[in-house]
Structure 1
Amino acid sequence: MPPPRKQGTALRQRLADLRGPEVPPKALDARALAALAANPGCERRALLDGAGVNKAVLADALGSPSAFGQSQFAFMRGNAFEARVKADGGAELLRLVHERLDPGAEPPAASPVSVPDLAAVGPEGRAARTALALREATDAAGWALLDHPMLALDVAGSPAFLEPDAVVVHPDGTWSVVEIKSFPMLDGSADPAKVGAAARQSAVYVLALEEVAARLDPPPEVHHRVLLVCPKDFTNLPTAAAVDVRKQRAVTRRQLTRLTRIEEIAGALPEGTCFAPDLPREQLTTAVEALSATYAPECLAACELAFHCRARARTEGAVTSLGRATRAELGGLTTVDDVLAAAHGRAGDPDDPAVAALRRAAELRAEALGVSAERREAAATLPGSAPEGVPCH
């Protein structure tokens, strides 16, 4: 077996070959990583994300353009709100952190706040600079605000570089993640679906921050509550809430450990496989179909290739297109044809609970339709009833 450094170099070269010559890698952010962790059985997404393939461009080249992503207006609004929150050296942001997460500590306004410079060359350099800044701020025992730090998290054997909105070091040496969103918090509460998505994204940052903390002696505590900052009501004024992400963190960690290592997926591909968007559509389709996918309707809100995968799932009659809950209830029946054959007694083990339930449902449906047919036949014999297809007046 080659040394780890040579092995890592060979993997990076292999992933670069898969992207295509002169195609720059697309960074894997926490939102994409949270979506990947929610669907660990999808080798297609695992490899494409790990290789840095731009799935939106790939979807366009495949003829299934994606409607996934934020509008330019949403980006501008979010950037403007984040700039307001972090103005004046992050004074308002640290006030919210103190108020919501650490009210027993000395107020940030009562002592100097460290805002270290995190500039460095490349994501590896920025991650190393962030780790050093965290160590220095922890030793200083004061408030510190790290604006857009760079964190590294191992994902399926390949490092993913993540950039949270902010990380705060408390005077007691503990660390907190701050997530800034542009959706409003009305009367102290926000859209549960959006808060849930923010919590899953923040849980990824917490995991990455814990990896940094584990390298220190003694390792500092990473707060399991993150600060979610949003506009208050219909204004542009910031407000915040503490969100407990222990459940999301545990689920994400468990799902990430289930991901097949990227080098194993890449090694199983045919020689010469490439996902460069300038290749002919037929060649791209063959390359994409060489990777197994686990499509579910939830992918439509989380993956740029969802429309392509949905079309393939429908063509193949895969029950995954009906949703994960339905797929789980059907056991070993993987296609709609299998389900219908089992329901009508043409296939399947009668002792299989899923087959038995399908046959019982088919019997109840036949019974209900039979009763309806009898009622229609009886109604047709009543005096004054119209022949079939002729309306009554």
Structure 2
Amino acid sequence: MSTSLDSGPPPQAQATALRRRLAALRGPSTAPRPLDARALAALAANPGCRRRALLDGAGVDKAALARALGSPAVFGQSQFAFMRGNAFEARVKAEGGAALLRLLGVADPQAALVPDLAAAGPEGRAARTALALREATQAGAWTLLDHPMLALQVAGSPVYLEPDAVVVHPGGRWTVVEIKSFPMLDGSADPSKAGAAARQAAVYVLALEHIAAVTKGASVDHSVLLVCPKDFSNLPTASAVDVRRQLSVTRRQLARLTRVGEIASALPDGLDFDMESRSSDELASAVDSVPSAYAPECLSACELAFHCRERARSTGAVEALGRAVRGELGGLSTIAGVLSAARGESGDPDDPAVVALRRAARLRAEALGGRATDDAVRGPGCR
């Protein structure tokens, strides 16, 4: 007997229903905002945040949403830095990427292949890129792919990524190229900026691995080429950056992300983030209905961080103090509860977190010379 009626809708129907649901969440007249590798790396760094996973999966413009909520983001690349980065990238890729290929040790850059990757839409460009990678691997010649389009499944939804370049070596090895406008002084770049570039490049490497898995003779280099201005000049220089650690973390964290469809199905009917038809109070209510996982690190990576911080502070959530503190406090979820446990007014006296808090409070009182305060803090349940 057929069991098709009991097995639920087919995958294609489920995907169509999910796309419609996500489109309704961001608003019927709002085009989806695509994810980039930088946002994806930030999402992987906080996989427990369902709020960000849903908003990114639905293509909601979080920067515009933050402004509508009255908590605009204050980070991002300046227009000057953006223009400087574009000018430097154009210099590196001039004349068919001759300067870039020389940094890779190519003796005759003019002989390298530079295929046309133009196609309609991100899906078409991703398919054209995959074909160009296979053709370049079979050709056995140096090939430069300028701004290829890569596809990656994240939480059940496709994400399209655009690295600066990918170089195919004659032996079939693929290398991701990241071009940044921050300087490389005496052969070394700023560690924080280089680290961010490595995390971003790891996402591209992960996407390439899926194509290489079905391409005969192909392999993906786990060292990416970071190209930056040399010292205080505008001349390009390069350094190989090993991204194996970042790749491992990104792969593990993305696998932990809850599927967007599961998050969307748990939302109340009629809820959406349509900034054209909803008031700020309605948007705030919609945002707050999706669980978040705020941490101070979000302030440098998520446009909604200031809104989430305000909510965490208003409820006295210990998450506002950082992930490390949150992890040490166990079941104590509010700052008021932590202070009450430290004073001996509440909390399980056998809980290691409570024991540590009361001991810390006692030591603090002794350091301040307040024995009377110490007796008050100690409480009847303190050992």
Q: TM-score range by the shorter chain?
A: over 0.9
Cα deviations by residue, 1:177-225 (Å, 9 ceiling, x for unpaired): 000011111111111110110000000000000011112235x110000
* 1:296 aligns to 2:303 (yes or no): no
Match of 1:70 in 2: 77
Distance, in Å, in 1 between the alignment partners of 2:70 and 2:198 is 33
Match of 2:244 in 1: 246
Match of 1:273 in 2: 271
Asked if 2 retains the 8 angstrom alpha-carbon contact of 1:145 and 1:166, the reply is yes
Cα deviations by residue, 1:341-377 (Å, 9 ceiling, x for unpaired): 1111122222222111111001111112235999xxx
Between structure 1 and structure 2, the one with the greater Rg is 1
CA RMSD of aligned residues (A): 1.4
Asked if 2 retains the 8 angstrom alpha-carbon contact of 1:108 and 1:143, the reply is no
Structure 1 residue runs of 4 or more that deviate by more than 3 Å after TM superposition = 371-374
Distance, in Å, in 2 between the alignment partners of 1:347 and 1:97 is 64
Match of 2:198 in 1: 199
Letter in 2 for 1:265: I
Asked if 1 retains the 8 angstrom alpha-carbon contact of 2:152 and 2:207, the reply is yes
Cα deviations by residue, 1:68-122 (Å, 9 ceiling, x for unpaired): 2111111100000000000010011011123xxxxxxxx3417721101000001
> Where in structure 2 are the equivalents of 1:39-50 lying within 5 Å?
39-50=46-57
Asked if 1 retains the 8 angstrom alpha-carbon contact of 2:68 and 2:280, the reply is yes
SS in 1 for 2:275: coil
Cα deviations by residue, 1:229-248 (Å, 9 ceiling, x for unpaired): 00111111111100000000
Deviation at 1:20, TM superposition (A): 0.2
Deviation at 1:296, TM superposition (A): 0.8
1:51 aligned to which of 58, 69, 84: 58
Distance, in Å, in 1 between the alignment partners of 2:349 and 2:212 is 54
SS in 1 for 2:188: coil
Aligned residues: 365
Distance, in Å, in 1 between the alignment partners of 2:298 and 2:255 is 20
Distance, in Å, in 2 between the alignment partners of 1:88 and 1:296 is 46
Match of 1:389 in 2: none
Asked if 1 retains the 8 angstrom alpha-carbon contact of 2:122 and 2:149, the reply is yes
> Where in structure 2 are the equivalents of 1:1-393 lying within 5 Å?
1-98=8-105, 107-109=106-108, 112-218=111-217, 220-278=218-276, 279-370=278-369
Distance, in Å, in 2 between the alignment partners of 1:323 and 1:81 is 37
Unaligned runs of 5+ in 2: 1-7, 374-383
Deviation at 1:323, TM superposition (A): 1.0
Distance, in Å, in 1 between the alignment partners of 2:107 and 2:292 is 49
Match of 2:377 in 1: none
Asked if 1 retains the 8 angstrom alpha-carbon contact of 2:148 and 2:165, the reply is yes
Unaligned runs of 5+ in 1: 99-106, 375-393
Distance, in Å, in 1 between the alignment partners of 2:303 and 2:149 is 25
Q: Rate the CA distance shift 1:48–1:110 in 2: closer, same or farther, 3 A.
A: closer
Task: Report the TM-score, using the length of structure 1 for normalisation.
Answer: 0.91
Letter in 2 for 1:58: L
Q: Rate the CA distance shift 1:77–1:46 in 2: closer, same or farther, 3 A.
A: same
